[in-house]
Amino acid sequence: MTPKQKANSSRAFRAGYVALIGRPNAGKSTLLNRLVGEKIAAVSNKPQTTRFKIVGIVNRPDGQIVLVDTPGVHKPGYELNRRMMAAVHDALLGVDLVCLIRDASASTGNGDRFVVELVKQSDKPGLLLLNKTDKLADKTKLLPLIDWYREEQEWKAIVPISALKGDQIEQLLAEMLAQLPEAGPLFSEDELTDQPLRVMAAEIVREKILETTGEEIPYIAAVITERWEEVREDFTRIHCVNFVERESQKKSVIGHGAQRLKQIAMRARREIEKLLGHRSHLQLFVKVEADWRERDHLLNEMGIK
């Protein structure tokens, strides 16, 4: 236990794993990045941005919260989707607390009932997080939503939040810690995530592709870091490959005169250098791989297992 933690020993130190689950676009990855204080998960307004569990670590004087981000709950189709849903089920098995994140500005549907059922089946304590409250001009619209969820499931707490704006985040952290067991830290205080740097770099590139291409490229884009070379202590050379399913998608990512690809690389490199703390060279390639979502070897390389 660190000196800072010992100074707070009058209050029991708590530590444990917390799963963040919800439908696509509920804001799970945005919340993860907000809580950790660093960008460790790809954030996009397109569905199914998160494809595998990403652990984010929040260190507080009185506890440590280990966050597990999961793919948006959806109906499995391709092998990719089946693996993503398996990741959700695996995450629920190994955590101490489940946080269901719901877009409070969206209407309720069958998918929301399905997510609630997953929380019930986990048999774990649950918090309900009503996200995107910044989109609601009239906050009284939350009341029927709260009533609906209370009828469906017993919650340890219901917390309206805005992951984007940071509203109610301190209250949320306090509620999370209150539900975790008394235990020593699970990770060292300087750790933010268990993800390798090459995976985080690939995620940053994929996010920039989604941002830059807008509606032209759907979420069927994948990025793998093929080469990671530490040239010097202050310089890293990185080669990433973006897989798409059709030649038209490749042209869209590259753009006229390769200008769009250069823009993606420039934006991604800036963020990667912040992550590394030094300069880097980022080389991007685009490959057409039909039905990559069904290719086991590619999914394995992406860490989607």
Which of 65-74, 124-133, 224-233, 234-243 shows the lowest per-residue confidence on average (mean pLDDT)? 65-74
Q: Please count the residues of the chain.
A: 305
Closest CA to 104 of 156, 159, 44, 175: 159
158 phi, psi to nearest 5 deg: -120, 120
| SS3 call for 38 | coil
Question: Structure tokens of 19?
Answer: 């799963």
- Is the pLDDT confidence value at 47 over 80? no
Closest CA to 101 of 178, 179, 23, 180: 23
Residues 67-77: tens digit of each pLDDT = 987 765 544 44
Q: What is the pLDDT of residue 270?
A: 94
- Is the pLDDT confidence value at 98 over 80? yes
Q: What is the pLDDT of residue 263?
A: 94
Q: What is the pLDDT of residue 279?
A: 94
Closest CA to 130 of 114, 110, 147: 147
Q: How many CB atoms lie within 10 A of CB 147?
A: 10
Residues 259-295: tens digit of each pLDDT = 999 999 999 999 999 888 899 999 999 988 776 666 6
pTM: 0.70
Q: What is the pLDDT of residue 287?
A: 86
Residues 177-203: tens digit of each pLDDT = 999 999 999 988 888 887 788 888 988
CA angle 26, 91, 89 (to 5 degrees): 85
Query: For the chain, first and last CA: distance in Å?
Result: 34
Which of 51-65, 160-174, 243-257 shows the lowest per-residue confidence on average (mean pLDDT)? 51-65
Number of H helices and E strands in the chain, helices first, is: 10, 9
